[in-house]
Structure 1
Amino acid sequence: MSSTSSGRRRHAALHLFLIIVLICAVIAAALYVGFSLVAGKPTVGDPRCTVVSAQGTTYTFTPEQTRNASIVSAEALARGLDQRASVIALATAQQESELRNIDYGDRDSVGLFQQRPSQGWGTAEEIMDPHYATVAFYNHLEHVDYHSMSVTQAAQAVQQSGVPDAYAKHEDSSAALTDAFHGAQPAMLNCVLDPVDASPSTSEGSASPAARADEAVVGLTRDYGDTLGGVRTEGESAVVEPDDSESGWAAAHWAVANAERLGITRVSYDGRTWDRGHQTSTRFSPVPGWESAEELTPEGQAAPPSPQVVISTATSQDPA
């Protein structure tokens, strides 16, 4: 009899232990989602973009954050500024708005950099244009000896923030984004997005692929100026003839970052391809990211890498 009671007690204790473990797991998952939302980061299953630094650290952003980062970083290149200027600008935008173009803030602050109309940054409507806000930031940064300053000091010299020490924590992620949009390393940036037809944030969702390709050419030229090389439309694709490998990867990463907005479905450069439809994962396989031509060819035999960046907006394609 005592043996039976002892067994029941052990069974009850085990049952209670499993319940406690389950409750802890639920709480941990809820906290993870909560912290992700507070930090402005996408949760698992949401469209998201990741950038991997040269040191192997992975940073995750929403498509909107990544798209805004491409504008900020490309403008530095277009102005002939170095990567440090881009890092400072991105760290500032991360701290001020989490790289979101918000229409509210402290007092009359709005936009990516939380610039204030009352302080001479422009009208609220102008500041809400990410390109205008970015240009305004660099106009001020160029009058600062930022090479002799830390990221925080340089950002504070422009922003005059009430929290002057908050920018430093974004330096590493800003450096990774800068490397991607300046083409310092290949295949650094990947985005997992909804299909084009199911993406409600695609502003050109009803436009033809050819029209979306034209818009990609306009966007590349607007953001990078003439620093990438030749940019043109070919049918349902935008094509970049880069001046060098860095220019090519800058354009390729920009295209992935802007894929949700422009309805871009595939980007190919230097023997690697980002295919929007392939960016799914299972419990046992990671998101593929950029795939080599050999991986995308059934026979494993691919043509030599193209020197062009090909940005496709077609919704269905033959295998590469």
Structure 2
Amino acid sequence: MPTDAHHRVLSMGTQTGETHRRGRHVRPRRWGRSLLALLIACGLIGGGLYAAMNFIGLNQGLVREKCTAIVGSSTYTLSPEQASNAALISAVAIKRGLSERAATIGIATSMQESKLTNIDYGDNAGPDSRGLFQQRPSMGWGTEKQVMDPAYAAGRFFQELATFDYSSMSLTDAAQKVQRSAYPMAYAKHEDLAKAFSAPLSGSADSALNCTLRPAESAGSPANVNAALREATGITDAVPDGPRLKVPAKGKQGWAVAQWAVANAGAMNTESVSYAGLVWNRAQGEWVSAATTDGYVIIQSATP
């Protein structure tokens, strides 16, 4: 039978073996596990950073494109397409020598009639209605091709508006006198939004119109910007300069042109607009301080 001494020897041997296993063989496993955990953690962090950067870079399509006009603590929003049409309506009013109030009436009217979009269909009340103002060829507004031309449609609207004293009337009454709609009170609900956009687009509110846009997908054309500006405003002395268009302007006219350019930046693939010590650009989507060329609005087109 084993003696107590034998038991002690076996016990000591077992303890020694455990110590041997724990001390000399387990330690490398712990280091190995720690190293593996560290590598996994680094991989996860690195992969997360790469995924985040890739997500930001590849998902510009998630950016909601919009244009805003700020009045006090209130912000009014249009899509870039709507803002571009509002800019055209305001520019045509100014070109005709009409007031900011006329531009407000025009924008509100188009917002009610077509949501400020150039639609090619009518409704049950006017099946042949077309364009920004839903003008009817059958009622003497022009041909279908003409009323589908936004510049023509705006000019035709203001031609009628200028035949009476719209400035002494409520917006909805003035709009109704031109449009003769089946819903004469419908225009009033768009008045605040129309005022918010007509103010910067007429130049009486500086740096109040901003657009948030995705990066331009193709190069812009200063020649195209110049042609659109000439049609909308009648300005003929803008000077193309490489990827830029330099528009001689001062005061309210300068701010009207600058904010017209921002409202059209999406359609024109414009990268930045600068005037009077401020610049708007796609990267920031707002007006910020910058060195500018005195006496000019500088419209910078996107380049490849």
Assess same fold via TM > 0.5: yes
Percent pairwise identity: 45
Match of 1:240 among 247, 261, 264: 247
Return 5+ residue gaps in structure 2 as ranges. Answer: 1-61
Q: Could you tell me how far 1:315 is from its partner in structure 2?
A: 2.9
Q: CA deviation at 1:305?
A: 6.3
2:238 is paired with a residue whose SS is: strand
Gapped regions of structure 1 (runs ≥ 5) = 1-43, 198-204, 280-288, 294-302
Matches within 5 A, 1:10-29: none
C-alpha separation in 2, matches of 1:154 and 1:236? 42
Counterpart for residue 48 of structure 1: 66
Partner of 2:257: 251
* Amino acid in the other structure paired with 1:139: Q
Amino acid at match of 1:239: K
SS in structure 2 opposite 1:196?
A: coil
Q: Secondary structure at the match of 1:161?
A: coil
Structure 1 partner of 2:120: 103
Cα pair 1:144 1:157 within 8 Å, conserved: no
Partner of 1:137: 157
The aligned counterpart of 2:36 is none
Q: 2 CA distance for matches of 1:80 and 1:254? A: 17
Deviation at 1:118, TM superposition (A): 1.1
Aligned partners of 2:69 and 2:77 also within 8 Å: yes
Q: Partner of 1:188 in structure 2?
A: 208
Answer whether contact 1:191 1:257 (CA < 8 A) is retained. Answer: yes
What residue in structure 1 maps to residue 284 of structure 2?
278
- The aligned counterpart of 1:66 is 83
Pairing 1:135-284 to 2, within 5 Å after superposition: 135-197=155-217, 205=218, 209=220, 212-226=221-235, 230-242=237-249, 244-279=250-285
Residue 167 of structure 1 aligns to a residue whose secondary structure is helix
1:15-44 Cα deviation digits (max 9, x unpaired): xxxxxxxxxxxxxxxxxxxxxxxxxxxxx8
| CA displacement at 1:46 relative to structure 2 | 2.0
Summarize deviations over 1:233-269 as a string: whole Å, max 9, x none: 1111011111x22111111101111111111001111
Q: Give the SS at the match of 1:73.
A: helix
Letter of the 2:257 partner, please give it: A
**Cα RMSD (Å):** 1.7
Q: Distance in 1 between matches of 2:131 and 2:280?
A: 31
Q: Distance in 2 between matches of 1:93 and 1:215?
A: 25
- Structure 1 residue aligned with 2:133: 113
Instruction: Describe the SS at the equivalent of 2:158.
Output: helix
Query: Which is richer in helix?
Result: 2
Runs (4 or more) in structure 1 with deviation over 4 Å come to none
Alpha carbons of structure 1 residues 46 and 98: separation in structure 2 relative to 1, 3 Å: same
CA contact (8 A) 2:274 2:292 kept: no
CA deviation map 1:262-309 (0-9, x unaligned): 110011111111111233xxxxxxxxx11112xxxxxxxxx5763321
TM-score by length of 1: 0.72
What is the TM-score normalised by the length of structure 2? 0.75
| Count of residues in Structure 1 that have an aligned counterpart in Structure 2 | 240
Q: Distance in 1 between matches of 2:277 and 2:168?
A: 40
Q: Would the alpha carbon gap of residues 185 and 127 (structure 1) be closer, same or farther in structure 2, given more than 3 Å must change?
A: same
